[in-house]
Structure 1
Amino acid sequence: MQIWYSSGAYLLTPEGKYSLTQSYNTLLGKHARLRVADLIWTRFAQPKHRFILWLAMQDRLLIKERLKRLNIPVEDDTCCLCEKSVEETHIHMFSTCEWIVRVQT
C-alpha cells in the first residue's frame, strides 16, 4: 500500500504539487468500484423495476423487518410469499425466498 502522508509531509505529484485526487485514490486503493446507480438507472430496465430496486438498495421497502424497526405493529413477521417460518428480511426477500427464486427462473 502506498503511503499518502509520511514524515510530516503529504505525497506530492512529480511536479511537486499536492493532489487531493491522488491522495484519495491512494487511500481508496485499487479496488474495483461497483457503480450501483449505473446498474439501477440503465435504460434497459423498466421504470417500475428501477424504482423498486432503488428502494431496496436504500433499505426503504416496507417489508416486515423495516415495519418492526419503525415501531409499526406487525402481526406475523414470517414471509408471506413462501409461507415458511422465516423472518421477512431484505436478504430473504431478494435471495433465499423460494417463491422469489421460482419467479426469477
Structure 2
Amino acid sequence: MWNPPTAEQLDKLPRLYQTEHTPLQDKIIHIHFYFGDCDWFVAEFDGEDIFFGYVILLGDYENAEWGYFTLSELSDIAVAYTEVEHDLYWEVRPASQVDKIMGK
C-alpha cells in the first residue's frame, strides 16, 4: 500500500458498531483509499484489521455498497508496480458530502 495510514490515524477512528445508530448518509468518512476505478471510504475500524465503510469497485456505482473490508486485503493489492493509495488530501466529512457515495 502506498502511504498506509499511521497507527495514530487508525486509533482516531470510531470502533466497529460505535456508529451503528447513525444513518448511513450521516456517517463520517475518515479515510479514503483508491486504486484505479476503485474507492474505499472508511467510517469505522475494529482496531486491528477490519474496516466498515462504502466500497465502489471498478466504477460500478449500481453495485457499490456499505460493508466490511480489511486493511490487509488492501495492502495486498498490487498490479504492475501500482498499489492501493491512501488519499493524503482527504478531508473528513459526512457520507452525504462525498460525491461518489450513494449515487451522487
TM-score where L is the length of structure 2: 0.24
Structure number, greater radius of gyration: 1
Question: Larger RCO: Structure 1 or Structure 2 (Cα < 8 Å, ≥ 6 residues apart)?
Answer: 2
